[in-house]
Amino acid sequence: MPQPPSDVTHLLREWSDGDRDALDKLMELVVDEVRDLARRALSHESPNHTLQPTELVDEAYLRLVDRKTWWWKDRGQFFASLADLMRRILVDYARRKRAQKRGGGEPKLSLDEGAFRATGPHPDLVLLDDALEVLEEIDPRKHKIVMLRFFIGLTQEEIAKEMGLSVNTVGRQWQAAKLWLQDEMRQDMG
């Protein structure tokens, strides 16, 4: 069950102010939500993916602990950052696997209405990550919508509330971002 935003926000601010114990308290408070986030991130991977949700949560926690400074204004920003961190962990993992295989025959990635889906056994997270980095530079708002929709699993209504936009604007931005990402990844594959 999600915790009240005020409890999470209070712990985030304590942690941002240097209280290292606040991170442990925070993680205890949101552990179920973080595990769900990890399961959602891994749901886009092949079924035989060797990284498990608990390992992804543990790796994300270790990376959070290693950071010297963090500052989040609220739980939404924290979970968006955590989703991005998990994405980076999965991309690093995919890059290592690709280096081991020397790139052989990754399946193409397509986008459907709800999320990214692979036409083969798993999406090419390296291509997706490269395209997302470019999107972040040219259109940060579309990038944030993709991050919230795909990696956190928010609905268009939730994204609209989080970003202070209309649901229609979010829908148009999501559609445009999907088309742009498809095109960008197609060019990278060619």
Range list for CATH 1.10.1740 in the chain? 1-102
* pLDDT reported for residue 122: 46
Residue 53 in contact with residue 86, Cβ under 8 Å?
no
pLDDT digits (tens, 9 = 90+) for 98-119: 766 654 444 444 454 334 443 3
Take residue 159 and report the two structure tokens written for it.
Answer: 């994204």
Please give the angle made by the CA atoms of 56, 84 and 80, to the nearest 5 degrees.
110
* pLDDT reported for residue 103: 47
Residue 34 in contact with residue 2, Cβ under 8 Å?
no
Contacts of 118 (CB under 8 A, 6+ apart): 44, 46, 107, 108, 109, 110, 124
For the cut 50, the answer to whether the pLDDT of residue 164 exceeds it is yes
Q: Which of 121, 97, 95 is nearest to 108 (CA)?
A: 121
pLDDT digits (tens, 9 = 90+) for 26-82: 888 888 888 888 888 887 777 767 888 888 888 888 887 776 666 677 777 788 888
User: How sure is the predictor about 177, in pLDDT bands with cuts at 50, 70 and 90?
Assistant: very high
**Of 112 and 17, which is predicted with more confidence?**
17
Contacts of 46 (CB under 8 A, 6+ apart): 118, 121, 122
* Average pLDDT in the chain: 78
Separation between Cα atoms, residue 145 and residue 54, nearest integer Å = 26
Take residue 139 and report the two structure tokens written for it.
Answer: 């259109």
User: How sure is the predictor about 120, in pLDDT bands with cuts at 50, 70 and 90?
Assistant: very low
* pLDDT reported for residue 90: 87
For the cut 70, the answer to whether the pLDDT of residue 1 exceeds it is no
Percentage above 90 pLDDT, the chain: 15
Please give the angle made by the CA atoms of 103, 97 and 92, to the nearest 5 degrees.
110
pLDDT digits (tens, 9 = 90+) for 130-145: 889 999 999 999 999 9
Range list for CATH 1.10.10.10 in the chain? 105-190
**Of 100 and 190, which is predicted with more confidence?**
100
For the cut 50, the answer to whether the pLDDT of residue 24 exceeds it is yes
Residue 123 in contact with residue 116, Cβ under 8 Å?
yes
**Of 101 and 170, which is predicted with more confidence?**
170
105-190 has which fold? Arc Repressor Mutant, subunit A (1.10.10)
Q: Which of 139, 121, 124 is nearest to 179 (CA)?
A: 139
Please give the angle made by the CA atoms of 9, 15 and 21, to the nearest 5 degrees.
115
Is the domain 1-102 a CATH 1.10.1740 member?
A: yes
